[in-house]
Amino acid sequence: MRKNGPLNSFDIAQMAGVSQPTVSRALRNSPRVSEKTRRKVHDIAKQLNYRVDKNAANLRSQNTKTLALLIFEDPTLDDSQINPFFLSMLGNITRAASRKKFDLLVSFQQLSDDWYSEYILSHRADGLILLGYGDYLSYKEKLNNLSEANAPFVIWGPTDTDHPNHYLSCDNQLGGYLACRHLLELGHRSIGFIGEASEHCPEFLLRYRGYCQAHDEYSINPKSQLLQSADNLETSGYHACKALLAAGCTFTALCAGSDLMAIGAIDALKSSGKLVPEDVAVVGFDDILAASQIDPPLTTIHQNTRLSGELLVENLVQLINGRSIQTSLIKPTLVVRKSCGA
């Protein structure tokens, strides 16, 4: 039973079985709320003779013209705690937001447990861009909370069918396929894979599936012992490669789930007396700045961070304006350098 006092939107939310932000949007006839839910909320409001406070509603609907870019704080070898791939993305998002006349508020995701209250309800930002996620299976709860609140947000990386209108991603499976196919075309038939190929890390899992797809085209069944789990760190790539060598696995090439892992793997190979690419060829993924500067320069999969940054901002602005967006996969390309010998 409702407590005594003036009727408010929280009471309607409780009766309708939805969140309070959903009630507010339904009463404003926002297209972000389904027709069925809008009808239900309006019917309850009519039965209770509820009237919207127009002044308060106008105040709440004022846009801040600010976007919040929340970066997952990753362990790194320096003090930045930012995945180097995201540094390029950060610059492109900043420029894209500026062209749209939006300011950009940048912070780490871990500094708040409730992004919706911290940035949207508090009117610090009109929408959220999320870069990085850690363990995705546990991370999805936060995305579900944002979806339930009808918060405008977009996330870079995972292709999540549970949040189909909120993600933007590289075609990771295609990238993994291009990397492995290049090695197969060079004549390699024993190719290892370094990376966490599980649902906890959906991007690496898709890259591994691309690796398997390329093998399948050559009627090769990749050996399970050549798959070595690793986090997105140089040290993880180093130890994963060392583990493959210590296990006596025979391989002439490696596909790494990221450039950082690949760089670590090259260090491990060199410290074990192996030559790159003469003994083992290596391909990375991301095309971070360091990929072209190591010895030998790293063959890798390039992700278009300029286009990605522009689309993240464009999609978020569309969501803020109550419009639906068309999610798409951004096509990666192979960049050939000397770590493959060709």
Given pLDDT bands bounded at 50, 70 and 90, which one contains residue 94? very high
Q: Is pLDDT at 201 greater than 60 in this prediction?
A: yes
* pLDDT for residue 53: 55
* pLDDT for residue 32: 75
* pLDDT for residue 188: 97
Write down all domains in the chain, each with its CATH number in brackets: 9-51 (1.10.260.40), 66-170+308-332 (3.40.50.2300), 172-303+335-340 (3.40.50.2300)
Q: 273 in the Ramachandran plot: left (φ > 0), alpha (ψ -120 to 50) or beta?
A: left
| Mean pLDDT lowest among 27-31, 118-122, 130-134, 318-322 | 27-31
**Average pLDDT of the residues of the chain:** 90
| Mean pLDDT lowest among 56-65, 90-99, 131-140, 216-225 | 56-65
CB 265 within 8 A of CB 224: no
Q: Is pLDDT at 61 greater than 70 in this prediction?
A: no
* pLDDT for residue 54: 47
* pLDDT for residue 301: 98
* pLDDT for residue 121: 86
Q: What is the mean pLDDT of residues 273-287?
A: 97
pTM value?
A: 0.81
